[in-house]
């Protein structure tokens, strides 16, 4: 595992149109304890790059009816710090230079070994400014409390404590890792519960949020900690202080 087990595996998005190659990449990444999202078309790849919380993208350059470099440009516009590694059979210097100029973090020419690929992924994640935090605690000054994510408990300044469930802890951690944006219920289901949302299932998120707000002593009608962004989802208050270390 690349992260503390409490913070979950690193998540990689594979965008590759060749089914056999994609399956090989997915299997190799999962064997190395990554969580993997996969896309076989340019459109699906772009949709996933914008909707799922991943730590890096493996991107093929050639797609029927699409261009990997166009996907790269759109990813860079939407998520500037997300690491992208280009996978391609193109070995020409001009292609490599163009990909790097458009913001690719690395360029791997097929065929390549699994060992080389894993080494390159880890190297890119180590130097990426957007790589995840191994978050250990959250401080909410306005509410006079701290969430200890390692011990799974809330500690209030008056000395009282409240236990957190595993999912409540992971929900807080995920929101803290993405504190600059509202997170949809569908994304929370995929990334924290690791299930695809079906009609009615997003109520699971609302119920967990309601229980967590109760433990946080956060008014559901006028929350100060776990905020509702109408039409988008949930996010933590801007004054939340995150403690942790780079993974």
**How does residue 238 score in pLDDT terms, banded at 50, 70 and 90?**
confident
Q: Is the pLDDT of residue 40 over 80?
A: yes
Taking the CA atoms of 2, 110, 54 and 123 in sequence, report the sign of the dihedral they define: positive
Which two three-digit tokens encode residue 109? 């020419």
The domain spans of the chain are: 5-127, 133-246
What pTM value is reported for the model? Answer: 0.52
Residue 214: pLDDT above 90?
yes
Higher pLDDT, 239 or 89: 239
d(CA 37, CA 104): 19
CATH value of 133-246 in 3.40.50.300, 1.10.10.10, 3.60.20.10, 1.10.3720.10: 1.10.10.10
CATH number for the segment(s) 5-127: 3.40.50.2300
pLDDT (tens digit per residue) in 86-121? 987 766 667 667 777 777 888 888 888 888 888 888
Q: What separation in angstroms does the CA of 81 have from each of 121, 125, 158, 200?
A: 15, 11, 40, 34
What is residue 235's three-state secondary structure? strand
Higher pLDDT, 28 or 52: 28
DSSP string, 98-128: HHHHTT-SEEEESS--HHHHHHHHHHHHHH-
């Amino acid at each position: 595992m690349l992260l503390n087990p409490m913070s979950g595996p690193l998540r990689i998005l594979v965008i590759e149109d060749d089914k056999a190659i994609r399956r090989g990449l997915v299997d190799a990444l999962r064997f190395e304890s990554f969580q993997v999202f996969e896309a076989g078309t340019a459109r699906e790849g772009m949709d996933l790059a914008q909707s799922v919380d991943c730590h890096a993208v493996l991107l093929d350059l050639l797609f029927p009816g699409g261009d990997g470099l166009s996907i790269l440009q759109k990813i860079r516009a939407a998520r500037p710090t997300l690491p992208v590694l280009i996978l391609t059979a193109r070995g020409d210097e001009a292609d490599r230079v163009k990909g790097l100029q458009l913001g690719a973090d690395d360029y791997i020419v097929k065929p390549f070994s699994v060992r080389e690929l894993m080494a390159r992924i880890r190297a890119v994640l180590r130097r990426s400014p957007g790589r995840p935090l191994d978050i250990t605690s959250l401080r909410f000054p306005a509410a006079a409390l701290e969430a200890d994510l390692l011990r799974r408990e809330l500690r209030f300044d008056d000395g009282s404590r409240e236990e957190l469930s595993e999912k409540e802890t992971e929900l807080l951690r995920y929101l803290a890792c993405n504190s600059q944006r509202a997170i949809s219920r569908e994304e929370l289901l995929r990334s924290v519960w690791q299930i695809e949302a079906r009609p009615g299932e997003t109520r699971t998120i609302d119920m967990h949020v309601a229980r967590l707000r109760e433990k946080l002593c956060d008014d559901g009608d006028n929350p100060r900690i776990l905020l509702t962004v109408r039409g988008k989802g949930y996010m933590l208050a801007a004054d939340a202080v995150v403690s942790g270390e780079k993974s």
